[in-house]
Amino acid sequence: MKQYYQIPIAECNEPLVPIPSEHFAFEIPHPYQKLGAPYHNSKADSPYYLRQGVVGSLIAAQKHLQQNHPQWKILIFDAYRPVEVQQFMVDYTFAEIARERGCTFPVSENQKQIILEYIYQFWAVPSLDRATPPPHSTGAALDITLADKNLQPIDMGSPIDEISERSYPDYFANSNQPEAKEYHLHRTILKNAMLAVGFQQHPNEWWHFCLGDQMWAWLTNQQQDNSQVIARYGRC
């Protein structure tokens, strides 16, 4: 059980709306759709949807970014993710890791639990319980990176969705290597733009940001003494 699932949700019923294409760059084709993830039963006709208020804050983050980097854009890798897609990606990641570890299929129950414990450091449990929604299934979380003036991704030192310590936001913070310093600078630029307008960053993922969901509320309460913020976005 993730700690942020202790946060209550007071659903505000704000609608899911498309992320406006004129403001951002997008990962196209969408990485999970390429794998066959089941978006066809989704309330949105693409993964590039968020709650209306989150979209407004994301546009503000883009403006903040361009104050110092006028030719850069936030690149949207993933946003709204139905629980069915969350389950699909957890299963896909499980199979990939099991193969990498040389497991025989079907995987033993002991091996299964070890792999799932590893996966759930990064991927949220695909829960159908209204009290414990995966963050992306609320329409309040998104995975992003930066793109240059040619809309090419800027090197952050590790790819989105990599399950390793390199994914931690400050992994390169104390390195003396020039390339690593660049990676950390890029991650910091992205983080600063998002936090400046109210987002919070996943502790284990440099690419994941949220606003208004349980993780956001939990992180906000950790940072502010006596704060009792609750979530306003539940599962869509």
Can you tell me the distance from the alpha carbon of 148 to that of 146, in angstroms, rounded to the nearest whole number?
Answer: 7
Most distant CA pair in the chain, distance: 53
| Annotation says 205 is catalytic | yes
Number of other residues whose CB lies within 10 A of the CB of residue 34: 10
DSSP annotation of 103 reads P
86 is written with which tokens?
A: 């969350």
178: left (phi over 0), alpha (psi -120 to 50) or beta: alpha
Paired with 18 in beta bridges are 49
Which residue among 11, 22, 96, 205 is the active-site one?
A: 205
- The CA distances from residue 198 to 45, 60, 72, 74, 148, in Å, are 27, 10, 20, 16, 24
- The gap from C-alpha 165 to its chain's centroid, in whole angstroms, comes to 16
- The gap from C-alpha 127 to its chain's centroid, in whole angstroms, comes to 16
187 is written with which tokens?
A: 């991650």
Residues with catalytic function: 205
